[in-house]
Each structure stands twice: as C-alpha cells, then as structure tokens.
Chains A and B, each alone.
Chain A
C-alpha cells in the first residue's frame, strides 16, 4: 500500500469544466509536489510546497491552481484545460526542504490519469 494516495485515478473532463485532483500523504512528510507526465516527454515538476507554503512554481499556466491546506493534503484545481493538458499527474512527498538540505527521497502516488476532451 502506497504512502501517497491520489484521487481520482482517472478523470475525463471537458475544456470548460472545473475539477480537482486530490493527494494525501500518510508518511509524516513536510514537502509535497505535483509532477506532470506527458507522452514522449520527461517528467516535469509543476509545484513544490513546504509546510503548506509554495516554494516552486515552474512556469505552469494559471489554469492549474494548487492548494495545500495542510502538510498532509495537496490539491490541483483544474479550470478551462486544453487537450494538450491530458497527462498523468503525479503527486509526491518528501521529508522536508530544510535550508541547504536536499536529496531526501521523494515518494510518489499512483497518479491521476487526466483526459481533456
């Protein structure tokens, strides 16, 4: 059983819909991430949160809006997406982002398969 759970596992939405992806980690970690995996492209980091504060936003279009209400939960709100946004969205967590500290293992969830029609 994974320590990072994502819902829904599969989502089909129209370009005018508003939907949200949910992620929950049960590992006691302080940092959470959203990654995007498209066909034929390397995995891309989208957002990083540390102790509920956003610390990285990798030039992601505003139609993707993250929310981190506490260190265990992370959401990705989706609004007016395009067909090219269809991808696997992976949530992940790690111990922390302490200053000067890096290299902690990042654990991933099973992902949410998103199809935009």
Chain B
C-alpha cells in the first residue's frame, strides 16, 4: 500500500527564518512520482514540484529547495528566508501505477512578521 506521512502538523516561524517541512513516503513500487502542493486559505492547491523516483538530484527554485533521499524514503521541502506570504498548508503527495494522488495530512506553516 502507498502512504505519505507528514509528521509536522503545524509549524510557526518568524519571517526570514528557514523552515523545513518533512515528508516520508511508503511504496513497494520502483517507479513513482512525488509532489508538493501549497494550499493558501483560498483553498486552491498550487503545484510546486514533481519528482520521479529515478531522479535523486536536489532541486532549488528561488527560496524553495527539495531534498529527495530514496535511502530514507523522504522528500523534504525547505523554504529559505520565509515570508508571510508563505503561510499556507503544504501537502506532500505520491503517485504510483495510476494517476491517483495519495496525499499526506499536510503541514500548516504560519509565518509571522
């Protein structure tokens, strides 16, 4: 069975702090895809990144970076120099074998000024 665990329910930081959101996944498949989505209070799920299981290179996009480690089944997300606009719920998700996203329970990030 596939499963995504986001152990951090809520994180509070002050603006300009760095913050890492953890994601641990479970699957027996060798081919799979991992995603991160951001959900602001408006409700829309905003796509942030897609990574396939054969590409373990870390990725950086502006203040966002992702660390994919197959050895620990983790796909962690770091925001550098956080801003108030980063406040949202962040979801990690997994797809294996069929176009069905398996989501974690999400981490609520609160960035205060």
Contact = CB atoms under 8 A, between A and B. Distances in A.
Nearest to B102: A42
Contacts, number: 55
B99 A106 contact: yes
B101 A43 contact: yes
Interface stretch (A16-24, A60-68, A78-86, A109-117): A109-117
Contacts of B43: 88, 90, 110-111, 113
A104 interface: yes
Interface string A85-105: 000101010100100001111
Nearest to A2: B44
B64 interface: no
Contacts of A111: 43-45
A45 B42 contact: no
Nearest to B101: A106
- Report the contact-size class of chain A (Cβ under 8 Å from the partner): 20 to 34
Interface string A42-58: 11010010000000100
Given A88-B43, A108-B37, A111-B44, A102 B95 contact: yes
B70 interface: no
Given A42-B104, A42-B105, A43-B91, A104 B99 contact: yes
A15 to B, nearest CB: 23
Contact of B52 (A56, A92, A103, A106): A103
Contacts of A88: 43
Nearest to B50: A105
A19 B104 CA distance: 30
Ranked 8 nearest A-B pairs via Cβ = A103-B33, A108-B45, A111-B43, A110-B44, A43-B103, A42-B103, A102-B99, A105-B50
A57 B96 CA distance: 18
